[in-house]
Amino acid sequence: MRTFVNESAENYLETILVLSKKLPVVRSVDVANELNFKKSSVSIAMKNLREKNQITVTDAGYIYLTEEGKEIAEMILERHEFFTDILVKLGVDEEIAAEDACRIEHVISKESFKALRDYVERVSK
């Protein structure tokens, strides 16, 4: 069973995952720049994620997702991409769709998301 994670933590984990696909290494400054947050705010968040064993940070300051952190980040990213795609297909502006997807991805239950994803896959065939 998944540990409860708040929306802010989920956003940080998702951001680390996305950055890890674009950059050779991820550091707090990269996360701060991506989210337009102060480095001090990101440092506090990274400390909290480390304490929950969702990330590890090397002595050089490189951030890596743990298995649990990666699982959460991948779930959030999947939801984000799914809802953004659906909303764009429905005619919503891409920027607005991405913003709305960012809100929806955190509040929908696992069961409802699976039902929606399965439904969309069935009607898309």
What architecture is the 7-71 domain classified under in CATH? Answer: Orthogonal Bundle (1.10)
Contact 36, 11 (CB under 8 A): no
Q: In this predicted structure, what is the pLDDT of residue 6?
A: 85
Question: Which residues of the chain are modeled with pLDDT < 50?
Answer: 1-3
Residue with tokens 């795609």: 85
User: Where do the structural domains in the chain lie, given as residue ranges?
Assistant: 7-71, 73-124
Dihedral over alpha carbons 56, 110, 14, 32 (to 10 degrees)? -100
Instruction: Tell me yes or no: is domain 73-124 CATH 1.10.60.
Output: yes
pTM of the full structure: 0.88
